Structure 1
Amino acid sequence: MENQISYYLPFIARAAGHGGFRNLYPFIFAGREGRDAAYDPVVLKETDIDELLFTPARINEQSPYRQFFLKCLRARNPSALYIEGLRLGCQGGPIDRAILLLDGASRHLKYAIFALALFYICSGNQAASDRALAPLCRSHPNQPLYTCGEGGEAEQICNMIFMQINSMVPAETGRFVKTWSYKPIPECVARVCDDDCDCFFHCSMELSCNKCFFYWKSMKLCEIC
């Protein structure tokens, strides 16, 4: 009977983790077998840690959640890859490592695709940014991107990314000032109007179109990092 319980324990822990990482606590404190089941890489890779995405300060190095989070990271949990990549990128960690983590998460999370594209632009690699965004363009052949503007999904995703970065307390070192590059500058940004211009719409960081969306969002990332 005990052998049967030991055999099924990882499967039970795996199912419990799908409902949230706190569901693993009873296994962790139930003894060695329960702890081993909860910390199994297969279990941790699939465990839902979305709570940490909405409270990203909990993954900072001084957080009591950090050790558990690192186990999820080593198991290549997609959410862990994403939020750690974001942390390294905004807190002055190795940018190559940040991009590598975000790339690993981008196969699973739209947030990671957008963050990866932004960090590529800020690092001076716009071509790689375009490649990162290609799956979104293929998914939406009638749109160059997700719907932008107020209430658009792209806007909501980027707002979430910036909220997460601010929650983790970015380094604010101006690390991307010398590397940021975006060419050519979108026409809607570069346009110069005279005093008699009847144009009622000018793109800006607060109000952008599909053509200049990532131009402005990458500039905003530069401002806060």
Structure 2
Amino acid sequence: MSSYILFPLVTDIVRRIGISGFRNLGPFIAACPEWLAIVFSDEVLKESGNNMAKYIEGLRLAALDGPSVQTLNMLGEGAVHNLHSYFAFGNFYVVCGNPEDGKIINVVFNEVFQNLVESH
């Protein structure tokens, strides 16, 4: 990526493009790893409104860096709209040392689905 444009300015431009739809960010994702990182940054994902992307990026960051507040927030935002994210959110709560809340989340998931096969 060129160093002529300041990083925060590039992020803001990509964020504004993402507001009109996550599909408009496809060329940036395909361009190079630097642009991919910008597209999947918190600033851009919050504005793009793509909860599935937040879920996938939350899982990726959790696997790469380990569970953190950032990954839990991303999974939590996706959990409202996606049952798989809800399930992962509950499991990460348990892993992060909050088993009581994680158990509550998973109990609610199990009330909706008796087993994981039904959730597909």
Q: The TM-score by the shorter chain falls in which range?
A: 0.5 to 0.7
Determine whether 1:74 maps to 2:46. yes
User: Which residues in structure 2 correspond to 1:150-169 (within 5 Å)?
Assistant: 152-154=117-119
Q: 1:93 to 1:41 in 2, by over 3 A?
A: farther
Alignment counterpart, residue 63 of structure 2, candidates 85, 90, 102: 90
- Counterpart of 1:129 in structure 2 is 102
Higher Cα radius of gyration:
1
Length, aligned pairs only: 102
Alignment counterpart, residue 91 of structure 2, candidates 102, 118, 122: 118
* 1:92-113: CA deviation from partner (whole Å, max 9, x where unpaired): 2561111111111100011111
- Counterpart of 1:39 in structure 2 is 17
Q: Distance in 2 between matches of 1:88 and 1:40?
A: 20
* Gaps in structure 1 of 5+ consecutive residues: 1-34, 52-57, 158-225
- Counterpart of 1:147 in structure 2 is 115
Q: Is the 8 A contact 1:72 1:80 kept in 2?
A: no
Name the aligned partner's letter for residue 81 of structure 1: K
Q: Is the 8 A contact 1:103 1:113 kept in 2?
A: yes
Task: Give percent identity, aligned residues only.
Answer: 22
Name the aligned partner's letter for residue 17 of structure 2: Y
1:66, distance to aligned residue in structure 2 (A): 3.2
Alignment counterpart, residue 73 of structure 2, candidates 100, 103, 117: 100
Q: Distance in 1 between matches of 2:55 and 2:24?
A: 13
Q: Distance in 1 between matches of 2:82 and 2:55?
A: 8
TM-score scaled to structure 1, two decimals? 0.36
- Counterpart of 2:6 in structure 1 is none
Q: 1:93 to 1:121 in 2, by over 3 A?
A: closer
Q: Is the 8 A contact 1:82 1:102 kept in 2?
A: yes
